[in-house]
Structure 1
Amino acid sequence: MTDPSPRLPWIVLCAPEHADVLESEFGRYLRDYDIRVARSGEETAELLRAARTGGHQVALLVTESRLPDDQVHMAMHAWRGIVPTARRIVTAHWDHFMDDAAALRPGLATGKYDAFLLMPRGARDEEFHTAVTELLSDWGSTVAAPEVVAAEIVTPTPDTLTAQVRDFLDRMGMPSAVVHPDSQRGAELLASYDGPRDYPIFSRIGRPPLAVSSVRDVASLIYGRPADIDVERVVDLVVLGAGPAGLAAAVYGSSEGLSTVVIEADAIGGQAGTSSMIRNYLGFPRGISGMRLAQRARNQAIRFGTQFFTGWPVTSVEPGADGKPHVVRTEGGDVHARAVVISTGVDYRRLGIPALEDLVGNGVHYGAAVSAARELEGYDAVVVGGGNSAGQAAIHLARFARSVTILVRRPDLSATMSDYLIREIGYNDVIRVQPCGQVVDGGGDERLQWITVRDLNTGEETRREVAGLFLLLGAEPGCGWLPEAICRDDRGFVLTGRDIPKHLWVGGSPPANLETSVPGIFAAGDVRGGSMKRVAAASGEGASVVPLVHAYLGSA
């Protein structure tokens, strides 16, 4: 359909019977993509091999539900082995959509393809194209280098801080690029920079470049600091933490008339924001990345008037007394609020091996670190952890890495991971699960090059060459900054409602369901003792806490 272009990513259509329909429908993408058409499964495979050999990126594979020379399941499996990063759609002609659905829909649950759609029957079938653009957007944000960037980082040698800044920007939904100071673009940026050449130097479009020494510097340049709030102003609600619980509290609080401020120590989205694809969240049949879910929620809250400040960990909370507001203190300023919701979530436990801790950001990552996946093409990676976040990270990494090993201490994944993820992992040839294993050592010259794994059954230790180690080691609440008046369990999680010991009940009545032992201070999400540790559950608690805040403010 188009002249060969080494620049445009490909959309490949496998259309044995209805090429006219699919070519017509995908004509709207011709400006930004090179549309290629094949007539069989083998011809499609040959086309994909040619793309790989020629260095062409394949963004999307679209196939009819019936092929003359293969079954769709088997063909998709083979095609993924050739271009693992491409998103995949099966579309059925309306004459046999219902007949094929029973056999093809189960493939979605095991990740064989990303969508099963009815072929458009006429012009402007926007339901079909919504699915296409969502998948192209997902591919573009995780695979392709951004064509348009929102921020640039000038540095001669990418280092740990540069990697941390890029990861923060990715999680905030801000495409970025690293620019060498000797390049033409680097010279253009530095021409407007008046200061010492302390790299990295950060530039946001429309703002002059500035040297930064931490991710917090970048966050404050973009989103400001809590001190920007008028010190005389007392807000109705301050939400501590912008994971799913905090974002839901912000949306419902501000939409119902509460002046609302959110303070987040890291990037919007919390741990959930690092998930490459959440497939079991209500209302997103094709899944949604944690970053996109978080940014949509943030934009929704901003629409209702919420103020966000990121990069500022809370250092202390001083409960109000005698009708005075609570005071939330950060290194960037204080916020006075009539009510507080603690939704700071949990942190991943540290591995505690000095040689590996020294390599954090250089091959060793706590969390999924989606931005690091691109660097692993042709290399081996290990994911440590058996929860859903670990499974999602492994599936994403498998698009890039030569092999991905999920390392767990348990005999298998069944006790800790959702069934749909276990099935998808089982279908993926790139991923294997190594049970009863533990990382005990590792190292490398400037970057991770090897780890040592101990078999917990035999005690045998094996050294492995790996380029990426992703540590998703379980939950620690990290609530040492909370005052003693807020009751916690023996693991440090915040207690609420009837879980609080009776001698701490005010007036002999238990606190509200999500209220802490301090009136007017609430907790929601993973930080709360007894919470479910799921994105949907955290969102539900964040929404549920707002009526309790209203009731408290109404009685105060």
Structure 2
Amino acid sequence: MTSTDPAPKPVILAVDDDPQVLRAVRRDLRTNYADRYRVLGASSASEALGVLDTLEQRGHDPALFLVDQRMPGMTGVDFLVEAVSRFPDARRVLLTAYAETDAAITAINRVRLDYYLMKPWDPPGERLFPVLDDLLSDWLAAYRPAYRGIRVVGPAVSAATHAVRDFLTRNGQPFRFLNAESDPEARRLLEQHRGGRLPLVAFPDGAALSAPDSAELAARLGLATTASRPHYDTVIIGAGPAGLAAGVYAASEGLSTLLLESDAPGGQAGTSSLIENYLGFPAGLSGADLARRAVSQASRFGAELLHPVDVVGLRRDGRARIVTTADGAEISAETVLISTGVAYNRLDVPNAERFEGEGLFYGAATTEAGSCLSHHVFVIGGANSAGQAAVYFAKYAAKVTVLVRGDSLEAGMSQYLADEIRRTPTIEVRPNTRVLELHGEQHLERMTLQDDATGERYQEDARLVFTFIGARPRSGWLRGVVECDEHGFVLTGPDLPRDRPGHWPLGRDPYLLETSLPGVFAAGDVRADSIKRVASGVGEGAMAVALMHRYRASA
């Protein structure tokens, strides 16, 4: 296949040993998906494995496996174990009888099952297609078709290359990475675009950007960075779970709504490879999928999202609240929500800053997963974000080592994640361990570690290190604007200080999520004493909109 040939359709594979059921499954799938997918069927697990062999040989991509559990020779779960080892990104659905729900639960744990369906599924328009539509939409959002789309050329380990890849990944832009040092296609592109600095970003129309920053990429990708109007009912600063939830509720209730995000929608949660404890998603979903769905939902209700846009100022002007962006633009609003979230703390050891993006990464699990193939990966941290990253990297890396300062994972991690890490043979946990120093020439090569239980210091080869060691609020731009605690988290409602004159200018008490500047609210991780969970951030975002209505009614 040449680069100008049409890409083959992704495959949906149905597997069932009952000929009548298999015919019905293929009929229903072809009725709804034949225009976009190639629908294949197999009457046994062994036949299906042969289909997988053919797909691998021809470079075709399976999008979804729909597999019966009760088959002779090999169960559906056992087949999925084999299938997922070859095609880890394909979505998987198990067909079960009423008496086989235990098998479905086992499959969720063993192969990250996305869904299970009870037989029969009639009518398919109500019980089959909505489920598959949702799963295929998620798969397409992350699909990287061969030889098409954006290509990023750069060194395998490079801070500038990482920044470009991270921006594209977090903004849901499919791309293919080409190693400038070894990939023949990379050499061809560099010859074609001589004189450019790395990383080079090549687009399907033949254009290319040389070492672009986020603003240049955003402009080329057509991301909106300019507000369509001068005044809004509410401006939401930060599009993490709290901000996106507020955007959905505000817009759905008729408020003109603008969301401003400095990086990519989803915030810190958007970097999570898998969130398993969010209500309504028993098989979990990635932070990117959650963000993508929320953005679509907010947009459907009429909310406007601008990114990447940095907010640098906020002031009061009569009844209006004026938001200033880094390019000098000013946007007014009746109410403002601060939901800028938090950023991972930097590793405070010698040479950490030098190797950032050159082997040392903060978050970035989904961005750098492809770089981890067959490598030894280190994850620093003992909270849920570190656990999620370790489980995700285990699908790609030869080995994952989790370095934890405490005595055990349970001290800061949810039990389900700690249990899953212990069930994964390629993940090693080292408690009472901290990093003392990083070493290397052009990029990270090794670390000095200390076992705090014994006092032993030792060095270990390390090319890829990912840190998740607590967080600091994104609130530096708010100094002197609203009251914050000693760590920079925004104070709201009853937590506002009462011992300083003039701290609150109105006769009424501040509302629960209201800051020291009336009409300006805070929600999510940036707020002092908030519960640092996705669900609580979503709840606070929704609550903030209700409080905005109260403020508007009383103003």
Is 1:500 the counterpart of 2:499 in the alignment? no
Is 1:99 the counterpart of 2:102 in the alignment? no
Structure 1, residues 140-197: CA drift from partner, whole Å, max 9, x if none? 655x633586645466988432332222122111212357999899989999x9x973
How much does 1:385 deviate?
1.6
- Partner of residue 215, structure 2: 216
Equivalent runs, 1:283-298 vs 2, <5 Å: 283-298=280-295
- Partner of residue 69, structure 2: 65
Q: Residue 247 of structure 1 aligns to a residue in which SS?
A: helix
67-76 or 369-378, which deviates more: 67-76
Structure 2: which amino acid aligns with 1:528? Answer: R
How much does 1:395 deviate?
1.8
How much does 1:85 deviate?
5.3
How much does 1:440 deviate?
2.3
Kept in 2: contact 1:212–1:218 (CA 8 A): no
Equivalent runs, 1:211-360 vs 2, <5 Å: 211=210, 213-221=212-220, 222-226=222-226, 233-317=230-314, 319-331=315-327, 333-360=329-356
Tell me, in whole angstroms, the C-alpha distance in 1 between the residues paired with 2:66 and 2:250: 43
Is 1:424 the counterpart of 2:420 in the alignment? yes
Tell me, in whole angstroms, the C-alpha distance in 2 between the residues paired with 1:460 and 1:422: 26
- Partner of residue 529, structure 2: 530
Equivalent runs, 1:153-172 vs 2, <5 Å: 153=152, 159-172=158-171
CA RMSD in angstroms, aligned pairs only: 3.9
Q: Residue 283 of structure 1 aligns to a residue in which SS?
A: coil
342-351 or 267-276, which deviates more: 267-276
- Partner of residue 4, structure 2: none
Q: Residue 525 of structure 2 aligns to a residue in which SS?
A: coil
TM-score (norm 2): 0.83
Q: Residue 350 of structure 1 aligns to a residue in which SS?
A: coil
Pick closer, same or farther for the CA change 1:353–1:370 going to 2, 3 Å.
same
Tell me, in whole angstroms, the C-alpha distance in 2 between the residues paired with 1:436 and 1:33: 51
Pick closer, same or farther for the CA change 1:55–1:451 going to 2, 3 Å.
farther
Tell me, in whole angstroms, the C-alpha distance in 1 between the residues paired with 2:443 and 2:65: 35
Pick closer, same or farther for the CA change 1:103–1:341 going to 2, 3 Å.
same
Q: Residue 287 of structure 1 aligns to a residue in which SS?
A: coil
Kept in 1: contact 2:161–2:199 (CA 8 A): yes
Q: Residue 546 of structure 1 aligns to a residue in which SS?
A: helix
Q: Residue 439 of structure 1 aligns to a residue in which SS?
A: strand
Tell me, in whole angstroms, the C-alpha distance in 1 between the residues paired with 2:195 and 2:58: 43
Identity %: 37
Equivalent runs, 1:84-95 vs 2, <5 Å: 87-92=91-96
Pick closer, same or farther for the CA change 1:489–1:153 going to 2, 3 Å.
same
Tell me, in whole angstroms, the C-alpha distance in 1 between the residues paired with 2:447 and 2:52: 34
How much does 1:271 deviate?
0.6
23-32 or 233-242, which deviates more: 23-32
Is 1:117 the counterpart of 2:114 in the alignment? no
- Partner of residue 548, structure 2: 549
Kept in 2: contact 1:148–1:175 (CA 8 A): no
Structure 1: which amino acid aligns with 2:536? Answer: A
- 5+ unaligned residues in a row in structure 1: which ranges? 1-5
Is 1:398 the counterpart of 2:394 in the alignment? yes
Tell me, in whole angstroms, the C-alpha distance in 2 between the residues paired with 1:448 and 1:7: 40
Q: Residue 531 of structure 1 aligns to a residue in which SS?
A: coil
Structure 1: which amino acid aligns with 2:260? Answer: I
Tell me, in whole angstroms, the C-alpha distance in 1 between the residues paired with 2:18 and 2:336: 58
44-53 or 464-473, which deviates more: 44-53
- Partner of residue 39, structure 1: 44
- 5+ unaligned residues in a row in structure 2: which ranges? 1-6
Structure 2: which amino acid aligns with 1:552? Answer: Y
Q: Residue 383 of structure 1 aligns to a residue in which SS?
A: strand
